[in-house]
Structure 1
Amino acid sequence: MTNVRIFDGERVTSDSAVRLRGGLIVAVGGPELLEVGDEHVDGAGGTLLPGLIDAHVHLLSGTPKQAATFGVTTVLDMFSKPGLVREAMEQGAGPNAADVRSSSIGATAPGGHPSLMYAPFPCVTSPAEAEAFVADRVAEGATHLKVLYESGSGGPMMWPSLDVATVAALVEAGHRAGLKVVAHVTTAQAAMDLLPTGVDVFAHVPFDRLSDEQVQAFVDAGVAVIATLSIADGFPGADGQMALLGELTMRPRLGQAWLEVVKAQGQRWMPPELPDFRVPVDNVRRLREAGVPVLAGTDAPNPGIVPGASLHRELQHLVAAGFPPAEALTAATAGTADVFGLADRGRVRPGLRADLVLIEGQPDRYISDTQHVAAVWKQGERVDLDGFVGSEDEAAGLTMLREMTDKVIAAFKEYVQ
């Protein structure tokens, strides 16, 4: 591939060509890399990025294929049931689909979040059960561990939560098994409760304001944060429209069926008082300025959030929170690869996987340019960008989303009655 600007995962380099062979990047340089008989791609002055990584998704049928059409070549699943995880990993091992890393089932208390959507599944009731719980997840193919510390206070429902001692035991067991531990928290106090346990990553930036002392505690603990600012896209904006529907460049690849789903999600019941999303944005800004690693993750398929597509929105949110565009790109490539130990990807470098995205534009300067995806390669094979819309995989994913949504609505109605 020649005639490209190369963003290597951290910066734009002076190179203009890459050579791929056997699923790997074998050389990075200039026009001299082109040899007689090569399959040659002229990048037409576009920008070549490492394949994007979404650090926080929940799987639907077909999620790996849908994500890949938007340049997301790796997804990190943060809670799905084993059968779906196996299906997604098998799909992700083939062409035209993102690679899948998963926690499998997350650790939560009986009846705890996210029981409304996923129950029944194994839960944890005490520190004594941590070792066996982690061993079962490893047997299911988990590549990291998810723990949920969430009381539900402040929301429309209350639910049980793990206690700190049990989380600490899970963290110890996870680390002994060689797993990174990701903790679901939504409040500053919850994060402070868990910092002493040694968790590696927080899934979600707190929705209430972090104090300066709490920000410093994040720094001192060496914890990373998956921002998931795209959660704001689950609520209509001042114009009454869901944010993703305004991204005209991505609409054809989203397809009419998903567009209708997002539109309907904007017309669902809304709480009387919506969250103040300026607070988590400011938390992300201050954490970044303090040197805390902030990663790009979407929490798809929450309302208004679509696998693959919404990572481009997440990058815009990070820039709005003060990230230079190039740094936002790092949060979706090299930064996430480093935190999760994915040493074989996340950069454009000889010896790494040939997971690449060609963008028409300069996303290191104008972050919205990431939406102009011209081509995607996963392990050196070109991805079919148009094959997902209207496919059986799309239909299966939408059916699963409908069933999960109906389950949550039914449980909520039972709760309020």
Structure 2
Amino acid sequence: MLVTTTITGARLFDGERLTALTAVRMEGGRITAIGDATLLRPGDKHVDARGGTLLPGLIDAHVHLLPGAPRQALTFGVTTVLDMFSKPDTVADALAAGPDCADVRSSSIGATAPGGHPSLMYAPFPTVTGPGDAERFVADRIAEGAAHLKVLYDDGRGGPMPMPSLDVPTIAALTEAAHAAGLVVAAHVSTARAAVDLLRTGVDVLAHVPFDALSAHQVDAIAAAGVAVIATLSIADGFPGGSLLDEPALVSRLGPAWCAVLERQAQRWLPPQLPDFAAARDNARRLHEAGVLVLAGTDAPNPGTVHGASLHRELGHLVAAGLTPAAALTAATARPADVFGLADRGRIRPGLRADLVLVAGRPDEDITATRRVSAVWKQGVRADLAGYVGSADEQAGLAALRAQTEKVIAAVRARLGGPTAAVGGEAG
């Protein structure tokens, strides 16, 4: 027997704007109607949302999977995650996860050069040596369940050590093969030069705003190319200046184990020259003002970030960078759905998936209101917001992160020498 749920009395942000509507009716995993209190029928499961704002399920446009991460993400209102590099077994487990988890779209293994980023974290995995490898690489990723392609263009100039990188012709060949297969291509870059280098390859998305300042000409070139940019400003939370632990509304649901992880990460060794996050924020603002589609993504589980929780910090970073609260909300709902071809979500409209988040307050006016999640529905089923903490999923995720961190530390020590190493370098 299908259960019909009707939510009334809400402020309704439809993915692009606040509407005058106040009610949503859902059945069979889909939104069947939007309107006012007259949608409520005898026998409906009724949710009185007075004082709250109803949003489309949030989309994190840049994560790297851990075991149990989709379940953790859902408890914070993130109903879809876009994975940008994970090993096939981790992806398969995430795709097979139950209804109490965020929906996953993955690139599986990203395309990088032998020994290139992020080999320190994930090796061994298949790599690309030149344009001739492109068609086979893309076909193999599709066979693993990939929904988009990730390519990595990073020679280490934006970080502490040099590394091999794909060249522009190889990325152009990968992009051509991916587009022929109907896949969106997201390209990891960390510098302004790298971002502009790839515009002629036809990539669809730049994963990360550059950490160095874009020139006016470079901003114009990115806007003219029509690429979207995933901001990942949350990477800053792994460095001095701000932390998830500063957010009481999020900390109360993180649980003691993840809070302890964040506390340890805050004490890790850091290189003397830190990324210029002021430049990254300014780049995000200028790109948005130039008409570039800026998407919200966290790059979790990089140091200082946690699946689900960090998307709320990301929204705050976007507003601090200069986006309006409404534009930040769109960057985590309608825009990533559009860019990645997820036509069934990202908005509150009849016929779309009943992926919804109810938050206390007015996030279109004060973005911090998203942190006060009251209820989450994935395909019309209300999520258990307390079930992840202390679960086997949580333990599996913590163990995987610990093993991943130890692997990176050992690899960095071997490459650089000496006792110091950054804990859990950027995953991409």
Is this contact kept in 1: 2:158–2:190, CA < 8 A? Answer: no
Decide which of 9, 14, 21 is 1:15's aligned counterpart.
21
**In the alignment, structure 1 residue 221 sits paired with structure 2 residue 225:** yes
What's the offset of the Cα at 1:293?
0.3
Q: Write the deviation string for residues 285-339 of structure 1: whole angstroms up to 9, x where unpaired.
A: 1000000000000000000000000000000000011111011000000011011
Is 1:235 the counterpart of 2:248 in the alignment? no
Q: In structure 2, what is the equivalent of residue 96 of structure 1?
A: 100
TM-score normalised to structure 2 length: 0.95
Q: Secondary structure at the match of 1:260?
A: helix
Match of 1:52 in 2: 58
Q: Within 1, Cα distance between the matches of 2:99 and 2:276?
A: 41
1:147 to 147, 151, 158: 151
Report what 1:85 is aligned to.
91
Correspondence for 1:272: 272
Report what 2:178 is aligned to: 174
CA deviations on 1:124-161 (whole Å, 9 max, x unpaired) are 00100100000000111100000000000242221100
Which residue in 2 is equivalent to 1:261?
Answer: 261
Where 1:142 maps in the other structure, the secondary structure is coil
* Amino acid of the structure 1 residue aligned with 2:201: T
1:102-117 matched pairs, under 5 angstroms: 102-117=106-121
1:187 alignment partner in structure 2 = 191
What do you get for the CA RMSD once the two structures are aligned? Answer: 0.7
How many Å apart are 1:49 and its aligned residue? 0.2
Are 1:41 and 2:51 matched, yes or no? no
Quote the Cα distance in structure 2 between the aligned partners of 1:284 and 1:120.
34
Give the drift of 1:416. Answer: 1.6
CA distance in 2, matches of 1:249, 1:45: 17
| Equivalent residue, structure 1, for 2:130 | 126
Tell me the SS of whatever aligns to 2:8. Answer: coil
Runs of 4 or more, structure 1, over 3 Å off, are none
Q: Which residue of 1 aligns with 2:364?
A: 364
Corresponding residue for residue 215 of structure 2: 211
Q: Distance in 2 between matches of 1:276 and 1:381?
A: 42
> Distance between the aligned counterparts of 2:172 and 2:412, measured in 1?
31
Q: Aligned match of 2:205 in 201, 204, 210?
A: 201
1:301 aligned to 2:301? yes
SS in 2 for 1:133: helix
Structure 1, residues 331-381: CA drift from partner, whole Å, max 9, x if none?
000011011110000000000000000001110000000000000000000
Report the count of equivalent residues: 411
Aligned mates of 1:243, 1:101 — CA distance in 2: 27
Q: Secondary structure at the match of 1:28?
A: strand
Distance, in Å, in 1 between the alignment partners of 2:312 and 2:333 is 13
Q: Is the 8 A contact 2:158 2:211 kept in 1?
A: no
Please report how far the alpha carbon of residue 243 of structure 1 lies from its aligned counterpart in structure 2 after TM superposition.
Answer: 1.0
Q: Which residue of 2 aligns with 1:399?
A: 399
Residue 192 (structure 1) shift: 1.2
Distance, in Å, in 2 between the alignment partners of 1:345 and 1:221 is 26
What is the CA–CA distance in structure 2 between the aligned matches of 1:134 and 1:258, rounded to whole Å? 35
Secondary structure at 1:40's aligned position in 2? Answer: strand
Matched, 1:338 2:338: yes
Where 2:255 maps in the other structure, the secondary structure is helix
Equivalent residue for 1:67?
Answer: 73
Helix, strand or coil for the counterpart of 1:236?
A: coil
Structure 2 distance, partners of 1:275, 1:99, is 32
